[in-house]
Amino acid sequence: MAENKRDYYEVLGVQKSASADEIKKAYRKAAMKYHPDRNPGDKEAEEKFKEAAEAYSVLSDPDKKARYDQFGHAGVEGAGPDFSGGFGNLNDILNDLFGGAFGGAAVMWMLAGFGYDTTAGAVQTETAINGLRILMSWIPALVAALAILVVWFYPLTKQKMAEVQAELSAKRGA
């Protein structure tokens, strides 16, 4: 459980302000000290090795580290929503959903046009606003096209409905 775990910074013996290199060095030192091959049969050393590996896996990942710094163990153990596992980012999800149908390129082009940075997995505000402006500029044209289609197809639809009703009446009368 999270309340039984030691602080990851304490496990590696580094300050919260430690750099990525300092965290890496501290992990390597702990891993060498507690590695099961160097301590055969020592369950305590094995647990400390696992604890150091877990601490390093969180503190070496900038996203996990930020969640850990803000929420503690609960931030990296699934107590809150964890969007990093399984699906990845929006780019991964859309590639899974549409990649086969469009080769992924059409979806990525569309996302890039609406401010989604497909390389970083993030929305760029200014580009998103420009994408929405472009979308909004197409709305009048789309409405006009829809109106033309309705005006054109409505008489055909009305005529077809009359034909279907006549056929049904003929069948009922027969």
pLDDT of residue 1: 46
Q: Which residues lie across from 116 on neighbouring strands?
A: 123
pLDDT(80) > 70: no
Q: Which stretches of 60-124 are DSSP H helices?
A: 62-71, 90-102, 105-113
| Residues 64 and 50 sit within 8 Å (Cβ to Cβ) | no
Per-residue pLDDT, averaged over 123-128, amounts to 59
User: What b-and-e string marks burial along 143-172, b requiring 16 or more CB atoms within 10 Å of the CB?
Assistant: eeeeeeeeeeeeeeeeeeeeeeeeeeeeee
- What mean pLDDT, rounded, does the chain reach? 75
Residue 85 pLDDT > 50: no
| Mean pLDDT along residues 113-130 | 55
Residue 98 is predicted with a pLDDT of: 52
Greatest C-alpha distance within the chain: 95
Is the confidence at residue 10, as pLDDT, over 90? yes
Judged against a pLDDT cut of 80, whether residue 119 lies above it is answered with no
CA pair distance 38, 14, nearest whole angstrom: 23
Q: What is the pLDDT of residues 51-69, one digit of tens each?
A: 998 999 899 888 889 888 8
- CB count in 10 Å sphere of residue 97: 11
Q: What pLDDT is stored for residue 130 in this prediction? A: 67
Mean of the pLDDT values across residues 108-131?
55
Residue with more model confidence, 98 or 61: 61
